[in-house]
Structure 1
């Protein structure tokens, strides 16, 4: 009985791991500080560019 139980436990754990890899990620992809700064700078540029167009 112990051998069967041990094998079943191993197989169940493998199945669990495979299912976990298949499931969608709950966390967002990591974005470094430098990339966040670049994105923020681009957003600021676009925000600043829009009022200039409106003023003309």
Structure 2
């Protein structure tokens, strides 16, 4: 019984991993607070440089 159960668990785990690879995640990747602040700062700098060149 235990041997059968163990084999069944292994096969189920493999099938689950294969299924997960076929169906990619729907949620966007998590971006940390520090990373968001960094991106925001870069966008502000780009906006400032664009307004300087157009004036």
Normalised TM-score (structure 1): 0.64
- Report Cα offsets for 1:2-52 as digits up to 9, x if no partner: xxxxxxxx66x553x231342111011110000000000000100011110
Normalised TM-score (structure 2): 0.65
Q: Which runs of 5+ in 1 are unaligned?
A: 1-9
How many aligned residue pairs are there?
46
Q: Please, what is the CA RMSD of the aligned residues?
A: 2.0
Deviation >3 Å, runs of 4+:
none
* Residue 49 (structure 1) aligned with residue 49 (structure 2): yes
Distance (Å, rounded) in 1 between the aligned partners of 2:21 and 2:51 = 46
